[in-house]
Chains A and B, each alone.
Chain A
Amino acid sequence: MQIRDLPHPDPGVPDVRSGGRFLVWLCRRQLGGQFKAMAWGLVHTGAVASFPVPVGIAVQAVADRSGAGLALAGGLMVVLGVLVSVGDTMLHRAAVTNWITSVARIQQLLARKTAELGSALTRRVAAGEVVAVSTGDLEKIGWFVEAISRFSAAALTTVGVCVALVIYQPTLGTVVAIGVPVLALAVLPLLPRATQRADEQREKAGRATELASDTVAGLRVLRGIGGEELFLGRYRTASQDVRKAAVRSARMWALISAVQIALPGLLLIVVVWYGARLALDGRIEVGALVTMYSAVTFLLHPLRHFEEIAQAYSFSRPSAKRAARILALSRPADGRITDHAPLRGDLYDPVTGLLAPAGRLTAVVCGDPDAAGRLAERLGGHPASEPDERDERGEWGEPREGAAGGPGEAKSAGDAGDMADAGRPDDRTDASGAIASGAIASGAAASRTGDRANAGDAIASRTGGVDGADGDAGEGSEKSRGEAAADAAVPSRGALPSVELGGIPLDDVPRDAARQAVLVQDKDPVLLSGTLHELFDVPSSGAVTAEQALAAAQCDDVLAALAQSGTDDSGDPMHSRITERGRSLSGGQRQRLALARSLVTDPEVLVLDEPTSAVDSHTEARIADGLHALRDGRTTVVLTSSPLVLDRADQVVFLPEGKVTAVGPHRDLLRTSPAYHSVVTRETDEERARKQAGDAPAPREDPQADPGEGPRADPREGTQGTSHGAPADIPRGTDSATPPHARMGALDSIEETA
């Protein structure tokens, strides 16, 4: 592998069972490069190791007063010099190439993994951990992969020199040959302590960096309110902790270097003492003594590689472990149903009872923003997390671990996989049990408590409820629904039954197909950095142009702002760059661009979660019109509470507490449902209380009055139906103990009236 051939056409499938295996896998993927580096390393260190020979010859030649000997030494030196040069350079090239190819390989693997995991990644590991692997850990892993070949070359040369010395000068050579392994092994007992201290240092450094970046991230808050000194003091403490830990760690490494001076030094003394006596007795020549001396000094160099490889290994092992941990995460992307009809039709959620008719704009009002977010996510199928599900089902092939990347990450991915497998059969029986009971006798199911029972109920009641809702649906659709219900009896994931599109459970079709059919725009869509043109370069139906989408999302002022700040001179806003996360734009501008992007995609079903929360009322009204016009004939679901949007929807579904309680046009619901009215218009509780009491609402309140005081009921208590003064909400207020199908029945009647 050459650097110029990067990126790898295929980074391969890593062995991520453990950090060590991952390192081995990396090394094996570039065996050629490793051997190349080792070969050049042998040339280099071999040539360096041979330098004592000409030195000895030269000294001897001088002692013998031999010009020819001196010339021979000079000639040898030139040859060795060339070899050292070439060897060194080529070794460096080969080793660096190994480093780069392995780092590039892991970067590519990470890119693939993050793309595969998508929204699920950050729920499994902290985003910071992925970044830490990509920025810091890779270099350390690469270091080890690269150092290993240099180390092998050094080790081989050391052996070679020892052998040569034994042959050249048996007695002295034997002393050296015995001494060198002792030297090489002497530092090993010190290494575990040293690496442990290095680990502590890294941990502290990580903490300090976290504090610093956290402080900087919240700097505007600090500057606006105060407390800089408090946070500086905190950081100083952390920073000094790092320093102390680093010095503690350095103490160990300093000791190791001292040992690496002392032991070879002792060997050197023995060589000099013994050699001098041999020379005195005339058994060796002076030149030989000098050669021995230089050879032993040379051996200090390869010994450094012993230290380096130990260090590289100790640094790269936790890094490799972290990388392997992330690469071991997986998320199933396929579904049981691969051969399915085109995904179109009504969007139906059996859990909440939400039905979004095909081709219409449905607005959904939820009680609670988190519930709305979860609903939106489920509407797209293949939800990344289902709180009930995650604990029980090891969908992730790895159990959740506490501190990110900390020393506590003991569990290997292999173990986790086993655990996940073990969890599966249990789960299946449990879930299908719930479904079965729901399908057979909803009355029995109604007596059960918990989400699973509810899920079963929902399916059972749906088969009745939906059929009633669109009674003119043909037999075909009935049949497909029936099949869907049968399929749902063996859910492929999670305890909550899947959302269905045209009767096909979205969780059961391949994820990509589900995403293609239903686009869910979450509350906080991210604008990826790049030009505006690149922003709109998303997989799409091709039916909606960027211009149309931008116009519908009321992006004129955004375009004007971008055109002004554009970095190229074209003045074309499509060529202007959007900075990371669109930070240069205001919240409202970002929201509108994100909406435009979703409109360009033009999916069969578009689910928007609070798409206009940061947009002013004026613009919002126009966006709602634009959205309605552009999505005409396509299914659109908007989760919102803005009356301006609700008023422009084909129908509004009111869904407090996670169940549909009312369906109809905005204005009708305002009239018929006080609960809806209060959520949507945000009328104050006092106003509502007065209305109930038959008082005319006071025209204006004293602005100085504390709105927190005075007679008012907690709005949440109101919707829960437990508050004393709360009005009776329509059907849902009946009784929470009522069997769900009865509730659904009531709902049908609302739908009919609506």
Chain B
Amino acid sequence: MIGLAPPEHDPEAARTTTILPVGSPATVRSYVAGLIRRHQKAFVLLVTVNAVAVVASMVGPYLLGGLVEDLAADARDLHLERTIGLFALALVIQTVFVRLVRLRGAMLGERMLADLREDFLVRSVGLPPGVLERAGTGDLLSRITTDIDRLANAMREAVPQLSIGVVWIGLLVGALGVTAPPLALSVLVPLPLLLVGCRWYFKRAPSAYRSEAAGYAAVSAALTETVDAGRTVEAHRLGDRRIRLSERRVREWTQWERYTLYLRSVLFPVINATHTLNLGAVLMLGGVFVLQGWMTIGQLTTGALLSQMMIEPIGMILRWYDELQVAQVSIARLVGVREIEPEAADERITPDGRHVHADEVRFGYRDGVDVLHDVSLRVRPGSRVALVGPSGAGKSTLGRLLAGIYAPRKGEITLGGAELSRMPAERVRAHVALVNQEHHVFVGSLRDNLLLARTGADDAELWAALGAVDADGWARGLSEGLDTEVGSGGHSLTPAQAQQIALARLVLADPHTLVLDEATSLLDPRAARHLERSLGKVLDGRTVVAIAHRLHTAHDADVIAVVEDGRITELGSHDALVSADGPYAALWRSWHA
């Protein structure tokens, strides 16, 4: 076999610029240990059933050895009936227990898999809002789909099969030692070869498989993007380019496939040679031993048959060990989410009043690059503040700080005198909500989509909330009312309806302060105006900080803060700012020309 170097392009390297952390080996180990502890009983049961099945499977070779011995000794009476009876009994036991092994293995694997995926989601929904805001959900999404999928095989098969394989080998060697002690030594003959071969292989394999998997994922990712961007691809006539990109990804991926195939092309002969050596050693050494009179021909037969049986568990271990290596990576990615520190929240901090106050706040996403510089702002309860200014000036960032999603680097943001960033997210959101353009409609019933905001609400409350945002009209028209399935795959809602659901959630959640980040900017004027009426009802009586791209939003505010380059450069009411004739006034004139 001609050696093959790993391909130059490593898709895994491109992928490892993940935003969320990946678990360290120690975390993975401790997690897996915990998982096994949780399912200890099932494990013990599996191993026991398996041991019974294996022992039963060895009865055949043992009995045959006896027969051969008797035949070779020209015995006249073989007790054939008794032997066959035992054989049949062993077969019944083996059949029953093999079935149990497979079933118990699957049950254990499925249980662990369910634990793993549920654990992951539990962890995910506990992530600090700031982390989500910064990292987005794409990385999480790929973990819960790709990695869980990849683990399914490992958990379903690899873990049970590996434990079965190990027990199996142990019992076979043990049986060999009992029935034909000298032969147990011959097992050692192929061992060095196997060890050297496996060492070579497993040193290279895990990272190669990771790259291969990443390469394959990249193939799908290119396709997914083409699908997702269908309109753009068609409009810009990018079809041919996308095809070429897909083909490049296929090439990159298959190069890694070729490399791992080469790795296996080395491993496989080693394993086969091991089997041959094993059987050969048993037969040749055993033959010599028998000829020398050190053991009987029956022992040799049993030994040969037992060592032939080893092929299966060895193959099993090697095959699933491979899978486990791949799984390890996926586990690391899933468990990595656990390494994100929950925010250092102090349960005791409770706000006293509704004043929102930013005091000399500095904040940046990266070290040394501040987006906000010494921003101070007081928001009176019940007032409306509009943040206006050019893109990238820091309006949205300031809004997120005021909503308690990020903690300021310097200075502090307080709600009723209590520092927002030190409050647990669950408490913050009881007071402040950020409303942005993201109006996710969850897969599920309309009821579920509303209940999330107030878990205990009854139908009357839900209808009242829908009514408050003018959504009860179309909602009552739905075929199954609140039970209508909405979201992807269900009844499809218009963007305006989705937005009304988001607003109804706010009515239910009932926070006293709202930060609106261009909540209606993506809609056209008429729908937006309709929504603004719904929004108006929601805003009534609440403190509102509105990030406004559109000046009419600003026009209605009590206080307008013009944000430029991370600083508040103008502050005052609409009339005051217009008469001050600064940048805001200029913009207003061009708007109202």
Contacts and interface: CB of A to CB of B under 8 A. Distances in A.
Contacts of A135: 145-146, 149, 217, 220
A369 interface: yes
Interface string A611-655: 001111111010000000000000000000101100100000000
B230 A117 contact: yes
Nearest to A515: B237
Interface stretch (B352-360, B413-421, B548-556): B548-556
Interface footprint category on A: 35 or more
B489 A516 contact: no
B297 A62 contact: yes
A441 interface: no
Nearest to A369: B524
A126 B141 contact: no
B140 A276 contact: no
A594 B231 CA distance: 13
B8 interface: no
Given A80-B276, A234-B448, A289-B68, A701 B536 contact: no
Interface string A1-39: 001101100000000000000000000000000000000
Shortest 4 CB-CB distances between A and B: which pairs? A227-B452, A118-B234, A81-B276, A250-B106
B290 interface: yes
B226 A115 contact: yes
Contacts of B443: 210-211, 214
Interface string B219-246: 1111111111111111111111111001
A272 B84 CA distance: 8
Contacts of A699: 575
A706 B540 contact: yes
B342 interface: no
Contacts of B221: 580
A225 B509 contact: yes
A421 interface: no
Nearest to A587: B437
B314 interface: no
A557 B391 contact: yes
Given A211-B443, A224-B429, A617 B551 contact: yes
A380 interface: yes
A65 B390 CA distance: 98
A85 B276 CA distance: 9
Interface stretch (A69-77, A188-196, A744-752): A69-77
Interface stretch (B28-36, B37-45, B257-265): B257-265
28 contacts: A58-B283, A62-B286, A65-B291, A208-B117, A216-B141, A221-B440, A224-B434, A225-B452, A225-B453, A232-B121, A235-B121, A246-B156, A251-B103, A258-B96, A258-B98, A265-B94, A269-B84, A289-B71, A290-B64, A293-B305, A294-B308, A515-B237, A519-B235, A528-B238, A538-B237, A539-B237, A580-B138, A588-B392
Given A62-B300, A114-B226, A218-B440, A78 B429 contact: no
Judged by DSSP, the binding face of B is helix
Contacts of B453: 225-227
B429 A7 contact: no
A408 interface: no
Given A226-B509, A261-B94, A290-B304, 5 more contacts: A115-B238, A118-B230, A223-B127, A247-B107, A580-B138
B196 interface: no
Nearest to A244: B110
A6 B250 contact: yes
Given A258-B98, A617-B550, A617-B587, A63 B228 contact: no
A700 interface: yes
A230 B455 contact: yes
Interface stretch (B167-175, B458-466, B527-535): B527-535
A239 interface: yes
Contact of A116 (B80, B239, B592): B239
Most buried by A among B100, B220, B521: B220
A96 B257 contact: yes
A458 interface: no
Contacts of A594: 232
A597 B235 CA distance: 11
B78 interface: yes
Nearest to B231: A119
Nearest to B532: A707
B290 to A, nearest CB: 5
A74 B280 contact: yes
A682 B550 CA distance: 10
A70 B141 CA distance: 62
Given A7-B247, A134-B219, A226-B453, A100 B254 contact: yes
Given A131-B223, A564-B369, A716-B530, A526 B391 contact: no
A87 to B, nearest CB: 9
Contact of B68 (A59, A85, A117, A213): A59
B95 interface: yes
Given A276-B67, A279-B71, A526 B229 contact: yes
B161 interface: no
Interface string A693-718: 00000011101101110000011100
A7 B251 contact: yes
Given A225-B453, A644-B590, A272 B223 contact: no
A216 B237 contact: no
Nearest to A90: B265
A212 B384 CA distance: 37
Contact of A225 (B152, B390, B429): B429
A289 B67 contact: yes
A616 B246 contact: no
Contacts of A661: none
A595 interface: no
A239 B117 contact: yes
Contacts of B264: 89, 92, 96
Interface stretch (B129-137, B176-184, B321-329): B129-137
Interface string B313-353: 00000000000000000000000000000000000000000
B269 A220 contact: no
Nearest to B508: A225
Contacts of B534: 708
Interface stretch (A102-110, A154-162, A499-507): A102-110
B111 A224 contact: no
Nearest to B389: A616
Contacts of B438: 220-221
Contacts of A286: 68, 71-72, 297
Contacts of A186: none
Interface string B266-305: 0011001101110110011011101100000100110011
B522 A614 contact: yes
Interface in B492-542: 494-495, 502, 505-506, 509, 518, 521-530, 532-534, 536-537, 540-541
A212 B334 CA distance: 13
Contacts of B575: 699-700
A403 B433 CA distance: 36
Interface string A263-295: 001101100110011011000001001100110
Contacts of B524: 366, 368-369, 372, 610, 641
Contacts of A581: 228
A230 B452 contact: yes
Contacts of B21: none
Most buried by A among B80, B105, B141, B232: B232
Contacts of A212: 117, 121, 144-145, 148
A136 B366 CA distance: 38
Contact of A272 (B64, B148, B268, B528): B64
A77 B279 contact: yes
Contacts of A229: 455
A182 interface: no
Contact of A85 (B237, B273, B283): B273
A232 B80 contact: no
B121 A215 contact: yes
A617 B91 contact: no
Interface in B70-87: 71-72, 78, 80, 83-84, 87
